[in-house]
Structures are given as C-alpha cells and as structure tokens.
C-alpha cells in the first residue's frame, strides 16, 4: 500500500480489508491522475490525515485502475469523497473544497 503525505492508496484488492474492515471512520477519495481538483485536494487531505489521524483514516482510490470499487459505490465524478463507518458508506461529497469546509462537513463523523 502506497502512502502520499499520510494518505494511503487502496485498490480493488485491499478495499475490503483497509476500508470496510477499519476500526476508525475512513474517508475515501475517489481520484484520478488526470483530475486537477483531485490534485488541489491532496494537500488538504494530507493535512487532515496528519491532524486527525487518531480519529479518521484517509485513503485514495484511483478510479481508472480500480473500476470494481468505483462501480460498486456508483462514483461518477472525481473527486468524490465518501466516508465509511462500520463497513457502510455514511456520507458522500463531490468536488474539491477548502480544509475548513471539509472539516465542518466531517464533524459528525469525527
């Protein structure tokens, strides 16, 4: 599993173990290499991963390389942010956003 600034990369193969089986809530960024807003969001997610790592796990999933998980959760655009808790998706947001707004939107799961 690759890590970029505190944000791990997951795949179709390890999604179940890393996300659905996690003890903490998990924020999954469905991303793509060609996605500009995804790149904008990367430092925001890295900062939140660093600050909230004891309460929230943050991972990325490349939609082009992992179509099975992307289709399973109905992801149509990038970046899509999905929060999983207890193996279930509990929140979904589409588009890049500033750190303060993202933390506000995550306050109910932190």
Task: Point out the residues that are catalytic.
Answer: 35, 38
Give me the residue label for tokens 């207890």.
86
Which fold, 3-100?
Answer: Glutaredoxin (3.40.30)
DSSP-based three-state secondary structure for 12: coil
> Which residue ranges make up each domain of the chain?
3-100
* Predicted TM-score of the model (pTM): 0.94
How far lies 108's CA from each of 72, 98, 99, in Å?
A: 25, 17, 15
Written as tens digits, the pLDDT of the chain (110 aa) is 665 567 999 999 999 999 999 999 999 999 999 999 999 999 999 999 999 999 999 999 999 999 999 999 999 999 999 999 999 999 999 999 999 999 999 999 99
Name residues whose C-beta falls within 8 Å of residue 79's C-beta, 6 or more positions apart in sequence.
Answer: 29, 30, 31, 35, 37, 38, 41, 94, 95, 96
Are 83 and 89 in contact by the 8 Å Cβ rule? The answer is: yes
DSSP-based three-state secondary structure for 58: strand
Give me the residue label for tokens 């991963």.
49
């Amino acid at each position: 599993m690759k890590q970029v600034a505190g944000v791990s990369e997951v795949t179709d193969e390890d999604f179940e173990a890393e996300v659905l089986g996690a003890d903490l809530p998990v924020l999954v960024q469905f991303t793509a290499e060609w996605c500009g807003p995804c790149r904008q969001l990367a430092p925001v997610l890295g900062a939140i991963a660093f600050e909230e790592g004891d309460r929230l796990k943050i991972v990325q999933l490349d939609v082009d390389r992992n179509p099975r998980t992307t289709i399973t959760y109905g992801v149509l655009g990038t970046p899509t942010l999905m929060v999983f808790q207890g193996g279930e998706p509990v929140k979904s947001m589409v588009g890049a956003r500033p750190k303060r707004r993202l933390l506000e939107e995550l306050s109910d799961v932190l």
